[in-house]
Amino acid sequence: MSSDRVHVLGVRHHGPGSARALVRALDELRPDVILVEGPPEADGLVALAAHADLEPPVALLAYPTAAGRDIAGQASFWPFAVFSPEWQALRWAVEHGVPLRFCDLPAGHRFAARAAEAAKAQPDGPLDAAEAVKAEPDGPLDAAVAAEAEPGGPLDAAVAAEVEPGGPDEAASDQAEAEDALRVDPIAGLAQAAGYDDPERWWEDVIEHRRDVPPFAAVAEAMAAVRESAPAIQEDLVREAYMRQVLRAALKEGHQRIVVVCGAWHVPALTGDLPPAKADAALLKGLPSVATTVTWVPWTHGRLASWSGYGAGVTAPGWYHHLFTAEDQPVERWLVGVAGVLRGEDLPVSSAHVIESVRLADTLAVLRGRPLPGLAEVTEATLSVLCDGDTTRLELVQRRVVVGERLGRVPADAPSVPLARDLAAHAKRLKLAQQALVTDHDFDLRKPNDLERSRLLHRLRLLGVGWGTPSQRKSGKGTFWESWRLQWHPEYAVDLIEASAYGVTVEQAATAKTVEQAAGADLPVLTGLLEACLLADLPGAQPAVLRELSDRAAVDTDVAQLMAAVPALARSLRYGDVRVTSTDALAEVLTGLVTRIRLGLPGALTGLDDDAARALREHLDGTHEALNLLADRLPLREEWLAALARLVDRPDLPGLLAGRLLRLLRDAGSLDADAVELRLARSLTVGVPPATAAAYVEGFIAGGGLLLVHDDALLGLVDRWLTGLAPDTFTAVLPLLRRTFATFAAPERRAVGEQVRHLGAGGTRRNGSDVDDIDLDPARVAQVLPVLELLLAAGRGTR
């Protein structure tokens, strides 16, 4: 829609057809200023659009300057893809030297309004704004982001609810609900009126596939009709009042050709007879505001897609990127690309497959009356021909091609916090690329570069930036190796800004945050932090964590808590030298900790119910394994085994723990086979309650069935006990035993079953390898031999 001086071009955000038509319109109109829907605080960043290193998808990130450590809950994103009309307007402006301004309501007003609404929503006190405005679990996407991505215009019901507390009444009429739906997605209303059940398909047919027809006049007329059916709400009115004020300012400055690029929904409010400036000023008067910082950050196609949690995004950014960039034959080029992806996975896809899939897509489009095949037709052709009907292959195509794994980048001189610049410098020096793709890395900690990579990733994890996740070490790798899985998400830019409150470098921020977390933490948390300090090489944080750990261990009387702290400390002592970090102070702390455990263990093992006994058994296993790990470093193992030996015969122990103590002592070699069999036999006698005996067996054999496979005597004891139970008693203890045996691996269960099958009445196997060991009575054998001779002779006679 246009006048002599003002041309308002309504677009669909992230619409390649709108972007293409916009570029043609700009070439024809040659404006002397461009106004684009977006946060005015970003005007100073427009020039960076000319930088070669600002490569979409990217996003404008805005956050309250004084948000401190609550940024993650308050940040807003305005994402741009190469096929976004707003991005094309930015590029056209910087290439032609035309000034461009953002004309939407400032983000500072939105942040202030949010904080005010959050305070009202908490009757007992002010609610933390970060909690009040947290968005979807995939990232802090606020209403501004959702609005930017709406097909027909940036309006989100959640924003409206913030401006008008209470939201729509649940008992609202169908008419009101229909109006709300039109405001949220006016394109869906137009599609429904045209007989389409899918607004994406309608937009493709009307706009995307009609490259030579300017859509702006038709879209403006349609939006005017839609807005008559769904009047604007307060949020619309405030935003559009600000847009008109920016437009009036541009006119006052004397610009003769003004182009306004905005969501199609807003076109009727910016054309025709505008309301008096005083009326708009009255709407904007008294709006609260806060200081706001804006910068460019990388974005991904995955975050543009609605299935990734970006609720108002486009479902197929990879497809839209292709439509915008493909000069001709978009369907043919698309299917060739899909075939390339499938071939890269060693799937058999030939040129004939591609030709046939193109024919099928064209045929489907003709049958459905579409001008060209759309994503639906191309997807069906892909599934039927290229994927042979295999939906798993189609999911690969959806993820890699339809959505895409493209990650944008921003120039190094873009505004950013010092912490983000420090990370970028480290990543560049260590050759760690920030990619949207999942990549696996194996670090050899004996190499300085790999060691520094590991330390950097561990420090980032302490800051809440999960760029890297430790993964299972490959078989054959020693303790000098560490495996990681890396994937960069755009939201980490917000996490870095939030973490910058702790320091200007990654090491400094990680140290400060670790010290803060250590204050008042319990023992398991402290030992985890101490281990993290060693992994991340934070000598500045380690003394503070050690002091907290020592103080807490000195006053903590919970033996379970003390034992829970041992494994992490043992790992730190055992593997600290691998990472070239000092662990001298840990030995003293761990020695004191184990001493307190030994002294408190007798009292901790009594008066326990089943759940508490099971939890304590896990702590016993963890402590025992940890001290075995340090057998060659500290003289703690022998003292630990002596403490267990003093407890194993106590009659008041729960059966589960008594059996476990016996197993630990048996595995450590502290008890010989006869002593173990004696204690096990004594615990499985008739006088012991069946439930207690079953718990004893569970404690003894838990963790693996190979003990029963290789020890015939123990297997015989358990077998005789089971076969001697009365039917009712056997039924009662069966669930306990099934739970124990269910933890064994399938091959172990089969091996135990084979051994039981060969057990005799006395518990001795009678397979072929042991026949010579069976004691036979010669006199009785002599009585059998004549009969055997007759049988064998008769057998030979029948042949």
Query: What is the C-alpha separation between 376 and 363, in angstroms, rounded?
Result: 12
Residue among 13, 7, 10, 137 nearest 72 (CA): 137
Which pLDDT tens digit goes with each residue over 87-98?
999 999 999 999
Mean pLDDT score of the chain: 81
Q: Which pLDDT value is given to residue 144? A: 36
Enumerate residues 6+ apart whose C-beta is below 8 A from 760. Answer: 766
Within 36-84, where are the H helices? Answer: 71-74
Query: What is the C-alpha separation between 623 and 614, in angstroms, rounded?
Result: 15
Q: Which pLDDT value is given to residue 145? A: 34
Q: Give me the helix-helix angle, 559-575 and 542-555, nearest 10°.
A: 150
Query: What is the C-alpha separation between 667 and 365, in angstroms, rounded?
Result: 71
Give the pair of three-digit tokens for residue 197.
Answer: 């059940």
Which of 276-285, 423-432, 748-757 shows the lowest mean pLDDT across its residues? 748-757
Is the pLDDT at 766 greater than 50? The verdict is: no
Report the share of the chain in percent with pLDDT over 90. 30
Within 484-631, where are the H helices? Answer: 492-499, 506-518, 523-536, 542-555, 559-575, 584-604, 610-629
CA angle 682, 688, 694 (to 5 degrees): 90
pLDDT band at 311 (very low <50, low <70, confident <90, very high): very low
Enumerate residues 6+ apart whose C-beta is below 8 A from 184. Answer: 150, 155, 156, 157
Q: Which pLDDT value is given to residue 192? A: 76
Q: For 35, left (φ over 0), alpha (ψ -120 to 50), or beta?
A: beta
pTM above the 0.75 mark?
A: no
Looking at the chain, the number of H-run helices and the number of E-run strands are 38, 10
Is the pLDDT at 661 greater than 60? The verdict is: yes
Give the residue with greater pLDDT, 764 vs 718.
718
CA angle 372, 374, 376 (to 5 degrees): 140
Residue among 245, 268, 270, 238 nearest 160 (CA): 238
What is the mean pLDDT of the segment spanning 6-32? 90
The residue count of the chain comes to: 799
Environment class of 166 (CB within 10 Å of its CB; exposed 0-12, middle 13-18, buried 19+): exposed
Q: Which pLDDT value is given to residue 495? A: 87
DSSP-derived letter for residue 264 is G
Q: Which pLDDT value is given to residue 467? A: 94
Enumerate residues 6+ apart whose C-beta is below 8 A from 179. Answer: 229, 230, 231
Is the pLDDT at 132 greater than 50? The verdict is: no
Query: What is the C-alpha separation between 578 and 655, in angstroms, rounded?
Result: 41
Give the residue with greater pLDDT, 379 vs 167.
379
Query: What is the C-alpha separation between 283 and 272, in angstroms, rounded?
Result: 20
Which range, 87-91, 220-224, 421-425, has the best average confidence (pLDDT)?
87-91
Q: Which pLDDT value is given to residue 279? A: 93
Give the residue with greater pLDDT, 698 vs 128.
698
Query: What is the C-alpha separation between 18 and 411, in angstroms, rounded?
Result: 27
What is the mean pLDDT of the segment spanning 775-788? 82
Q: Residue 10: beta bridge partners?
A: 262
Residue with tokens 């905005």: 262
What is the mean pLDDT of the segment spanning 70-78? 70
What is the mean pLDDT of the segment spanning 454-478? 83
Tell me the three-class secondary structure of 73-87, residue by residue.
HHCEEEEECCCCHHH
Sheet holding 258-263, edge to edge: 6-11, 258-263, 33-36, 100-102
What is the mean pLDDT of the segment spanning 631-654? 86
Transcribe 697-744 into DSSP letters.
Answer: HHHHHTT-SHHHHH-HHHHHHHHHHHHTS-HHHHHHHHHHHHHHHHTS
pLDDT band at 364 (very low <50, low <70, confident <90, very high): very high
Q: For 464, left (φ over 0), alpha (ψ -120 to 50), or beta?
A: left
β-pairing, 100-102 vs 481-486, is unpaired
Residues 54-80: b if buried by 16+ CB within 10 A, e if exposed? bebbbbbbbbbeebeebbbbbbbbbbb
Is the pLDDT at 73 greater than 70? The verdict is: no
Which range, 389-393, 411-415, 562-566, 668-672, has the best average confidence (pLDDT)?
389-393
Q: Which pLDDT value is given to residue 398? A: 92
What is the mean pLDDT of the segment spanning 772-776? 59
What is the mean pLDDT of the segment spanning 170-188? 60
Environment class of 391 (CB within 10 Å of its CB; exposed 0-12, middle 13-18, buried 19+): exposed
Q: Which pLDDT value is given to residue 114? A: 80
Query: What is the C-alpha separation between 63 and 111, in angstroms, rounded?
Result: 8
**How far is the CA of 103 from the CAs of 26, 112, 246, 273, in angstroms?**
18, 18, 6, 19
Query: What is the C-alpha separation between 160 and 163, in angstroms, rounded?
Result: 5
Q: Which pLDDT value is given to residue 503? A: 87
Query: What is the C-alpha separation between 567 and 590, in angstroms, rounded?
Result: 10
Q: Which pLDDT value is given to residue 383? A: 95
Give the pair of three-digit tokens for residue 42.
Answer: 């970003």
At 692, the amino acid letter reads T
Contact by Cβ (8 Å): 141, 74: no
Please say whether the dihedral angle defined by the alpha carbons of residues 554, 555, 557 and 559, taken in this order, is positive or negative: negative
Which range, 146-160, 178-192, 199-213, 226-240, has the best average confidence (pLDDT)?
226-240
Residue among 641, 574, 551 nearest 601 (CA): 641
Give the residue with greater pLDDT, 313 vs 768.
313
Give the pair of three-digit tokens for residue 695.
Answer: 């718990």
Contact by Cβ (8 Å): 81, 14: yes
Tell me the three-class secondary structure of 179-201, residue by residue.
HHHHHHCHHHHHHHHCCCCCHHH
Query: What is the C-alpha separation between 583 and 203, in angstroms, rounded?
Result: 64
Residue with tokens 């400036």: 277
Q: Which pLDDT value is given to residue 125? A: 46
Is the pLDDT at 36 greater than 80? The verdict is: yes
Q: Which pLDDT value is given to residue 156? A: 36
DSSP, collapsed to helix, strand or coil, labels residue 30 as coil
